[in-house]
Structure 1
Amino acid sequence: MCSQEASSSLSYSLEIHQWYKIMLELHDIPDPDSLLPGVRIAWWGWLLTVISIITLAWLARRKLARTSGVIPTDSTSYLACQIELNASREKLTSLSLAEVATRCSLALRTYLHVNLDEQALYETHDEFLLRPEALQRLPRGARDHLEPFLSKLAQCKYGPSGTDPAESAKLIDDSLRILHGLESTRGREIQ
């Protein structure tokens, strides 16, 4: 029985020895990084790059368009604003002072937006006055007349008001005078 145990123990140790030899002969799996191509940029990285380039091109184009300064002479915004202001004059008896002031302000701000690319149309009165580059494309004299008039319109729009045809007519007359002054300072394209 002893010999059977010895032979069984011997066969077991031979199996372990063979297993150990096999394990020594096995080599580790090589690192796959050396077989892969260089650093790959994810698809979202390329997308971000393309969006950045498009945004920069758009901003540069917008900046160049804003600094060109010359507006074509076929602009009809002056006439359209004049017609709008005169149409308000015909409704003086039915409009409150606040409504007339709102129409005058909208006409002037629309003119500024179309002809000077001024963002006043999309801003509150306070935002407009606090923006340092507001109306920089206008001559100093035009700015000196326009800024206080826009403040007066804001007071009329947001203050208590009723129907006052005389004051409303004065607002429209002043708006037309300011509009005419703005049109006279606008740069013209020489052909």
Structure 2
Amino acid sequence: MPDIRDITDPTEFIPEPTTSWWIWALVAASVVTTILIICFIVRKRRTNQTRRDLLDKARAKLSQLKDQSVSLKPEMIATRISVILRQYLETAFEDPALFETNEEFTLRPTALERIHPDIRPQITSHLEQLSELKYEPNKDPDTAHTFVLLLINDAQKILAHSKIHPNLENRN
């Protein structure tokens, strides 16, 4: 007589429970989204902090220049103010003003496009005044020194009010 075997347990034939593919896709999408949001927030903070650091450095340079203004020629001071402003514009707002003459700067249609529209005319006017002083020096030293101090104060005010264009604010 043949061997009689017991019935096999049916659980051996049931496949192991697995997680559906769409659950894994949802988890992966959530992780990627979270990482992107964190990167965006960190980058935005760094950009804002960098802009603040650049602003503080530019203000410090202008204050230092104000202290040295008595011993320097007005043309030299105007040149330094212009360089300080242009360096700040170039690094904080990615504007190539540092590498342009005043004529190139004023004729460039995209000049200061990343800067808030309310402050653009003030910057352009200030750079024109600096250019005039650099290339057409004033003969009276007392008037020139007073004018230079006024230009330094104006540059500090311009820096204090400079901000990114509202349409570009969220792109950083």
TM-score of Structure 1 vs Structure 2, range by shorter chain: 0.5 to 0.7
Cα drift, residue 95 of structure 1? 1.1
Match runs of 1:5-24 below 5 Å: none
Q: 2:75 aligns with which of 94, 98, 106?
A: 98
Cα drift, residue 167 of structure 1? 1.4
1:132 aligns with 2:130: no
Q: TM-score, normalised by structure 2?
A: 0.63
Opposite residue 178 of structure 1, the aligned amino acid is I
Match runs of 1:145-164 below 5 Å: 145-161=122-138, 163=141, 164=144
Cα distance in 1 for residues equivalent to 2:65 and 2:138: 17
Q: 1:74 aligns with which of 30, 37, 49?
A: 49
Task: Give the ranges of 4+ consecutive aligned residues of structure 1 lying more than 6 Å apart after TM superposition.
Answer: 184-189
Cα drift, residue 126 of structure 1? 0.5
Cα drift, residue 101 of structure 1? 0.9
Cα distance in 2 for residues equivalent to 1:140 and 1:70: 23
Query: Alignment length, in residue pairs?
Result: 121
> What's the CA shift string for 1:13-43, capped at 9, x where partnerless?
xxxxxxxxxxxxxxxxxxxxxxxxxxxxxxx
Cα distance in 1 for residues equivalent to 2:119 and 2:131: 18
Percent identity of equivalent pairs? 28
Gaps of 5+ in 2: 1-43
Cα drift, residue 71 of structure 1? 7.0
1:179 aligns with 2:159: yes
Cα distance in 2 for residues equivalent to 1:154 and 1:136: 21
Cα distance in 2 for residues equivalent to 1:172 and 1:183: 19
SS at match of 1:86: helix
Opposite residue 168 of structure 1, the aligned amino acid is V
Cα distance in 2 for residues equivalent to 1:147 and 1:70: 29
SS at match of 1:90: helix
Residues 146 and 178 of structure 1 are in contact (CA less than 8 Å); yes or no, is this contact kept in structure 2? yes
Residues 73 and 188 of structure 1 are in contact (CA less than 8 Å); yes or no, is this contact kept in structure 2? no
Instruction: Show the counterpart of 2:15.
Output: none
SS at match of 1:84: helix
Opposite residue 124 of structure 2, the aligned amino acid is E
1:110 aligns with 2:90: no
Cα drift, residue 136 of structure 1? 1.1
Cα distance in 2 for residues equivalent to 1:188 and 1:128: 23
SS at match of 1:139: coil
SS at match of 1:132: coil
Q: TM-score, normalised by structure 1?
A: 0.57
Bigger CA radius of gyration: 1
Residues 118 and 135 of structure 1 are in contact (CA less than 8 Å); yes or no, is this contact kept in structure 2? yes
